[in-house]
Structure 1
Amino acid sequence: MEISAVGRLEVRVTAADVGKRVSVRHLNHAGAAVEKFTDTVGVLTSWDDGVLLITRRSGETVRVPESSLVAGKVVPSAPARRRGPAASYEELARVAARAWQPLESERLGAWELRAAAGFTRRANSVLPLGDPGVPLDEALAAVRRWYAARGLPARVQTATGAEGTQELLCAELERRGWVREVTAELWVGGLAPVADRGAEPSGVVLSREADEAWLARYRRRGASEVALRVLGRADPRCGSRRCPARTPRPPSGRCVVDGRWAGFAAVEVDPAQRRRGLATAVMAALAVRALDEGASAAWLQVEDGQRGGQGAVRRYGLRPRTTPTTTTARTGILVPGR
C-alpha cells in the first residue's frame, strides 16, 4: 500500500509491471455494507481482461479484479536467501546432473565419471566439481582410459561465467586442445509463473515413468532400453498432450523435481503443430504438479542451436542465470581435439 502526502491511496501498478513483485490492496466484497480490504504481495504474472493474477511466494495464485483495486505499487524483490532461483553454480550443476542419472559412475577425487551407454552427453561426461586429487594431465589420461574401456568418447562438462575453478579448468582444457562439442545457457526463474501460463491443462496426461510411447516422441532417443533406464532413475514426471489422431506426433515434455528445483527437458512439438500453445500446456501441467510436490524454482538448458526457442522460454518468466559480475553462465561439453 502507498499513501500520498495528503493521505490518498494510489494505484501505481500497471500492466507494464507484469513480471515484477507488487503489493496491492483490494476490496474483498465490493458493494457490501462493511467493506473489507485484503493485501496481496507477489509476482504480477498477468493483467488481462480487467483481472490481475498475482502469484504469492507459496505458489498460490490470487485473482484480483482491476475494479477492486484500492492501492498498489511495485516492491523490491525478496532477499536473495528467500528467492527460489538464487543458487550457486555448484548447486545447479549437481541438480542438473541428477536429472540425467548415469547407469554407472566412478569418483576421481571430486570429479565424477559418468556413463550411460552413450544416451545423452550429460549422462556420459565427467562432472568436475573440485580437485581430481591428481595433476590435471594425469586426471585427463584416466578419463580417456575410463571412457575408452566403455567404447565412449571422453567428455568433460564445464562452465564459463561460473564461480570457483570452472573458468580455469575451461582454459586449461582448451590449452590442451580440447574443443567444445556443445554449449548451452542455464535459464532459471520462479516456478509459479510457468504454471500460470497454461489456461487449460486438462488435455495433458501425466505419468511418473517414461514409457515406449513417450520415448517415440523424443527426437533424441537412443537405444530404447538404455534411455528408459536413464530417464527412470531420475524419477521424472513425464507429460504428453492428447491430440487428434491426424497429428503425427503429440507434444511431450519431462520434469524432474529435486528439492526446490524443477528441471524441464525434452519438450518436443512436431513442426506442424507449433504456435498452438501445446508446449505451453505441457510445461504448465508439469509445473503445477511440481508446485504440488514442493518445488518453487525452475531451470532448463537452452543449447546454442535452440536459440529460436528463447522467446518462448522468456514468456515462462525464465532468464539466463548470471554470476555476481552479470556474466551469463554457460555450460559446455568438451572433447579432446583430433
Structure 2
Amino acid sequence: MLRRQDVGHRVVVRRIVGVTRDRTLYTDALGELVDLTETELTIATDKGTVKVPLREVHRAKRVPAARRPPARDVIDLELAANAAWPAPVQARLGGWILRAAENWTGRANSALAVGDPDRTLEAAIDGVIEWYEAHGQRPLINAPMPLAAPVNAALDARGWTARPLTLVQTALLAPLLSRLPARADLPPVELADTPGDDWYAMVADHKGTLPATAVRILTGPDEVVFAHVRDADGGLLAVARGAVTDPGRWLGVSLLQTAPGARRQGIAQHVLRGLAQWGVQHNATRAYLQVEERNAPAVTLYGRVGFGTHHTYLTRAAPEG
C-alpha cells in the first residue's frame, strides 16, 4: 500500500470497479500521486485527476518515473517564471526564494522551494514560517514536483494543506507557430508595452481587484507585452500577457482570457500566435504557461496546439491558527 512518502511520485493503482458472475473487475490508474488521505488517494493521470476511495484499492505501488527533465532544467524554468512574475518583496533562504506581494496571487506570495536552502529541511520550513509571519502573511511554499517531494513529505507531517495541482506546460516556439493558424478573418492581435484600462478590467474579472502591487508585478519584467483583441466597435474580445526572461530566454504566457461572447471562435489560439511571434522577435525559443490541472478546457486547448507538461507544482499552506 502507498504511504505519505509516495506523494509526488509515479504510481500505479489497481482499483476494484465491480463484480460480475463471481469475477472481480479491475481498472488501473497510472500517474503522479498528488494526495493521500485516510479515505482516498488522488492521482494526476494523462487523462485527468482520478480520486480512488481506499476501500476500492486492490493493489498500489510506486513505479519508475516517466522520463522527466533534469532537476537543473526545472530549477531554471522556475527561476525564469519567477523573473516573469516578480514579487516586489523577495529574500533568500539559501537557494529558496521568499516572495511577498500583499497576498495578490499565490505565485507571488509563496516561498519557491528549489535548490539548497543551506540548512536542514525542518529549519528551512521554520525559516519560511518566521519570514511570512514577520510580513503579516500566511506561510506558503511553492513545491515543484517531483523535485520537491521531500519538501512535500515534510509539510504533510506538519499538517500543511495543498492547493490544486498546477501544470507547468512548455512548447518549442517554432512548432507551436506551425500549429497556430494565421486568421485573417479575426481582428488583429494588438501588442502594447502597457495595458489599457479595459485590459486591467478584464483581468480583474478573473483575478479580483488589482492592487498597486499587481500592477508592479504585471509591468515589472524588462521584456513584457500586453495583448488585446478588439471587435469593430472597440470592445475587448481577449487579452493576454507575455514576458521573456532568463535563464533560457523563455516566453511566459499568462492571463489569457476571452470574453464570454467571443469563445469557441479560435481567438485564444489567435492570441497565442501573436505572443509566440513576439517571443521569437525577442530571441525566445521556448514558451511556458501555468494552468491548474482541474481546468480541463484550458488543458485541452494547450495540448491541442502542442504544449506538454514539463513538471507540476503544489502550493502548500501552513495550518491556520
Corresponding position of 2:99: 114
| Residue 334 (1) aligns with residue 319 (2) | no
Distance (whole Å) between structure 2 residues aligned to residue 265 and residue 215 of structure 1 = 13
Is 303-312 or 274-283 further displaced after alignment? Answer: 303-312
Structure 1 pair 275/86, CA: closer, same or farther in 2 (3 Å)?
farther
Distance (whole Å) between structure 2 residues aligned to residue 237 and residue 205 of structure 1 = 10
Please give the secondary structure, in 2, of the residue aligned with 1:262: strand
Q: Shift of residue 192 of structure 1?
A: 2.1
Structure 1 length as normaliser, TM-score? 0.67
| Structure 1 unaligned residues grouped into runs of 5+ | 1-84, 322-328
Is 178-187 or 97-106 further displaced after alignment? Answer: 178-187
Q: Shift of residue 244 of structure 1?
A: 4.0
Deviations 1:42-94 (A, max 9, x none): xxxxxxxxxxxxxxxxxxxxxxxxxxxxxxxxxxxxxxxxxxx9971111111
| Residue 88 (1) aligns with residue 73 (2) | yes
- Output aligned runs, 1:126-145, within 5 Å: 126-145=111-130
Asked whether the 8 Å contact 2:240–2:257 carries over to 1, the reply is: yes
Distance (whole Å) between structure 2 residues aligned to residue 252 and residue 209 of structure 1 = 12
Structure 1 pair 138/124, CA: closer, same or farther in 2 (3 Å)?
same
| Residue 276 (1) aligns with residue 265 (2) | yes
Structure 2 length as normaliser, TM-score? 0.70
Pairing partner for 2:215 from 228, 241, 265: 228
Distance (whole Å) between structure 2 residues aligned to residue 132 and residue 211 of structure 1 = 40
Pairing partner for 2:249 from 260, 271, 274: 260
Structure 1 pair 100/221, CA: closer, same or farther in 2 (3 Å)?
farther
Please give the secondary structure, in 2, of the residue aligned with 1:267: strand
Structure 1 pair 138/185, CA: closer, same or farther in 2 (3 Å)?
same
| Residue 101 (1) aligns with residue 119 (2) | no
Corresponding position of 2:176: 194
> RMSD over aligned Cα, in angstroms?
2.4
Q: Shift of residue 289 of structure 1?
A: 1.0
| Residue 296 (1) aligns with residue 280 (2) | no
Asked whether the 8 Å contact 2:93–2:117 carries over to 1, the reply is: yes
Deviations 1:277-331 (A, max 9, x none): 111111111111111111111111121231222221012211112xxxxxxx211
Corresponding position of 1:181: 163
Partner amino acid, structure 1, of 2:96: W
Partner amino acid, structure 1, of 2:228: S
Corresponding position of 1:317: 306
Distance (whole Å) between structure 2 residues aligned to residue 115 and residue 133 of structure 1 = 21
Distance (whole Å) between structure 2 residues aligned to residue 180 and residue 293 of structure 1 = 36
Distance (whole Å) between structure 2 residues aligned to residue 174 and residue 316 of structure 1 = 36
What is the total number of aligned residue pairs between the two structures? 244
Corresponding position of 2:225: 237
Distance (whole Å) between structure 2 residues aligned to residue 123 and residue 231 of structure 1 = 11
Deviations 1:252-291 (A, max 9, x none): 1111112431111100012221101111111111111111
Asked whether the 8 Å contact 1:253–1:267 carries over to 2, the reply is: yes
**Which structure exhibits the higher relative contact order, with contacts defined as CA atoms closer than 8 Å and separated by 6 or more residues?**
2
* Sequence identity percentage: 29
Distance (whole Å) between structure 1 residues aligned to residue 168 and residue 176 of structure 2 = 16
Q: Which has the larger radius of gyration?
A: 1
Deviations 1:11-58 (A, max 9, x none): xxxxxxxxxxxxxxxxxxxxxxxxxxxxxxxxxxxxxxxxxxxxxxxx
| Structure 2 unaligned residues grouped into runs of 5+ | 1-69
Distance (whole Å) between structure 2 residues aligned to residue 149 and residue 272 of structure 1 = 45
Structure 1 pair 146/237, CA: closer, same or farther in 2 (3 Å)?
same
Structure 1 pair 87/320, CA: closer, same or farther in 2 (3 Å)?
farther
Corresponding position of 2:136: 151
Structure 1 pair 117/191, CA: closer, same or farther in 2 (3 Å)?
same
Deviations 1:179-211 (A, max 9, x none): 112321111111123334141376111012234
Distance (whole Å) between structure 2 residues aligned to residue 337 and residue 314 of structure 1 = 35
Please give the secondary structure, in 2, of the residue aligned with 1:217: helix
Partner amino acid, structure 1, of 2:303: R
Q: Shift of residue 230 of structure 1?
A: 0.6
Distance (whole Å) between structure 2 residues aligned to residue 285 and residue 92 of structure 1 = 22
Partner amino acid, structure 1, of 2:183: E
Partner amino acid, structure 2, of 1:265: S
Distance (whole Å) between structure 1 residues aligned to residue 71 and residue 92 of structure 2 = 28
Please give the secondary structure, in 1, of the residue aligned with 2:294: helix
Asked whether the 8 Å contact 2:251–2:284 carries over to 1, the reply is: yes
